[in-house]
Each structure stands twice: as C-alpha cells, then as structure tokens.
Structure 1
C-alpha cells in the first residue's frame, strides 16, 4: 500500500516481532508505520487499536481486515473434518476470522464515515468461502461469512465502499501450515493446485496488488464485490491431466 500512495499505516499483530518486521517493510516503502500489538480475540484490544489509529492519523481512510487463522494453526490434531473438529478449535477460528473483522469494522465505521477521501474497507476472504476444502470446515464457513459481511457492510455503510478478495492457494505461512499438517505435503499441494489454469502456487504480491486496487480511488465504483484470485481454479470443475 505505501507503493500505491498510502503515507501512514497502522500495523497490528498479536506477535510483536512480526508487527515490527512488517513496520520495517512499510517504512522501507516510504510510509510512516504505527505499530500496536493487538489480540483480535479480545474486544477491548480491537477497540483500543482502532481508537489509537484514528487519533494518531487524525481519522481513518482505509481499513484492511487481513487477519486469519486456519484449523491447522490452532490444533495439531490431523482429524479436522466437520464431524470431528472440536468446539474449541471452531470457536478460535471464528473469533479471529469473522468476529474480529466485524468488530474492527464496527469500531472503525464512525471514522470512515467522516473521511473526505473516498473511504474503503477491504476484507480478506478466500476461495474456501466459495467451495468446500477438506479438513477446514471452520475456515471455509467463516470465510463464506466474510464474503457476506462484505456485502452487507457495503450496503449499511454506503458511501463507504467495502470489497473483499478471495485468494486461492498462495505461498504464505498459512498455506504452508495447512500443507505441513497433512501426512505428506507434496500430494496435498498437488491436489489443491491441480484444478488451476496457472500451474503453480500464487505469490503474496499477486494478492497484495488487487487488494491495494480495491482500497484505492481507482475502484471508486466498485463495492460489495468479491475478487477471486485463484489461478483459474474455479473457472472449471475438472483437473488437468
């Protein structure tokens, strides 16, 4: 986002070291980062994060709800199907993926409404919210709800725009955690990328660029939309031979 014009950004993470590393990247790209350690499972932390950002930056113009966890980051149990997933894991995924996105939007809404700069919200959803993936029922359900949260937010908060992006299989720590949780990484990776027209894992920057576009004035007539970034996996129902 700094490379597309953002000059000030709040970087929030539960892990102070990760937040500091992200802040360094933001600073290197030419923007001024503000870092706050926040546990998105804690309502008061979320409210403090939003209030601090608004006070530090004299308002808010863009909100990006990008946090997410998958079952394999919460439990080491290999049996994570819909009929065997524990209630504790389900709740942990729900709290970060959906409830935190809603609460952050709720607390940010008054500031975004007052922004004179074409305010926007960008949510991180997933193709898992559009089709079923194995061993990730809570992740898929919460991402499907993020897509719908995006639509109702676009309606309720208009003219504040709200869109989401739906990545497919991207080479990120989250995906690597999912692959590593299986008994054999390579077959699982091949299974998930086989339907794609682009025969490789997606790259983080290939998701970041569309996300930045949705936050920018170039997307001023786009709201309530879900952008699929999946290498063509959902374009057909087959598997390449």
Structure 2
C-alpha cells in the first residue's frame, strides 16, 4: 500500500507546534504537500525544515486567525503554490489561560472571550468557507477540525475554551451537511489531555500544577498524557481515503477519559 495522501495538498493551521506540527509531519510522510500555516514564522519554518529534512514538501504561509482578512489569502496562496487544496486541517486553537489569569466565568474579560472564539471557532468556519472553492476541485476533498473533550464536558478555567470547542463539534456536523453535495467530507476529533505547549500553559496557570497534571493523567483509563504523534495518526486517517465513508463525525481520542467517571489513584 502506498502513501495514503500521495499528491494531495494539505493546509494545516497552527502547525508551528504541538498537534498541528505532528499532523503536518505525519501528512508529509504520507506523501502530502503541506502548507504550514501559523502566526509564528520561526516555529512554522521549523516545521517546514523538519518535513524537508525527511524528504517531504512543505511551505510556510503566515496567517493571523484573529483576522478574517488573513484567512482567504492563506487559501488562495496555498492553492496557487501547489495547484489546489485537497485537505484543510483546522488545528489552531488558544485557551484563556494562554491570555489571562482571570479565567473564571465571573472574571473573564470580554476581549479574551472574543479572541478565544475568533481563533477556535470563527476561524474554523472561515478556513472551511474560503477553502471550499478549491476543495470542489479535488478528487478526494476533506476537512478535519480539532474540537476537544471540552466540547462534551467542562473543566475549570476553561469556559470560553469549552464553549468554543462545543461550537466546533456542531459546526463540523453543519459543514458536513451543507458540503456533502460536493463530496466534501468534514469531521473532527476530540483530544483529551495531550502533551502540548497549550496543555503545559494550562497546568502552569493552576495554583498546584503538579496536582492538575496528575489529575489529567488519572482521568484517562490509560493513565498517562497522550502524545501529539498519536493524535496525528487520527488526523491522517480522517484526511485519507481510509475514511471515505465517514463525515459529520466527532472522534474521541482521550485515553478513555469520557468512558468513565473515575480517577486513577
């Protein structure tokens, strides 16, 4: 069996680090030409260098997902660079603990709420919207969004994040419904606690970070943190023909966290 994404063009937002970087690298290993889209040019170009060091093809394109006027040029430039778009992987996200120490519902600043929703939810819609004209021209078009277990259950210090990720899960279903007529598949996945810079920021923002990390590990039936590379395998699957009869779905990848109401000692 050959590479599962051979010849396809994949746009991955937030691919300068974490799950986005792991997904971009995994997609390139499966034969894709990858557009590394990130606000941080240094980390984005690091991802490109990692892909190229393995013989893959990638290009960095800067995007500010807080600014809708930055998203359409991303898709236009991606398509112009590689001759089209086959897969959009809307991975980029932010958590309120990245932005403020006042994270409770009663204390959260409106501007922080708006930024979390602009990046986590509105930008997912706009990435899909502006990619659709190019996805229509693909023989195997797919959109893969990143939600969260926070779309299904809540956590402390995460009101804006959980609300935005719940929106991603429903936006995925709505997009799948509207775009099925074009053969465009739209799915999302819901990670548990994955070892990423965002998760580390969440842990660091807590009064007792060690206790929070232990609680996150213990909530999983598999009592450890997930790794970005494990999530990347699911992203590749949903982008590939292996998932050709799957659309409108939300996949848990959470080490069993939502299968029980337990906490490992």
TM-score range, shorter chain: over 0.9
Matched, 1:195 2:219: yes
Asked whether 1:167 is paired with 2:169, we answer no
Gap regions ≥5 residues in structure 2 = 1-26
Q: Which of 86, 89, 94 is the equivalent residue of 2:112?
A: 89
Cα distance in structure 2, aligned partners of 1:164 and 1:195? 22
Structure 1 residue runs of 4 or more that deviate by more than 4 Å after TM superposition: none
Deviation string 1:143-185 (CA, Å, 9 cap, x unpaired) is 0100111111111111100111110001000000000011221
- Is 1:51 the equivalent of 2:76? yes
Cα pair 1:165 1:228 within 8 Å, conserved: yes
Alignment of 1:31-46 (within 5 A): 31-46=56-71
Structure 2 partner of 1:224 = 248
* Deviation of 1:11 (Å): 0.7
The separation in 1 between residues aligned to 2:233 and 2:222, in whole angstroms, is: 18
CA distance in 1 between partners of 2:50 and 2:145 (Å):
21
Which of 137, 161, 165 is the equivalent residue of 2:159?
A: 137
SS at match of 1:157: helix
Checking the alignment, whether the CA contact within 8 Å between 1:113 and 1:157 is kept in structure 2 is no
Aligned length: 237
TM-score by length of 1: 0.96
2:149 matched to 1:127? yes
Report the equivalent of 2:29.
3
What SS does the aligned partner of 1:238 have?
coil
The answer to whether the 8 Å contact 1:193/1:233 transfers is: no
8 A Cα contact 2:223 2:264, kept in partner = no
Check conservation: 1:127, 1:230, Cα contact below 8 A: yes
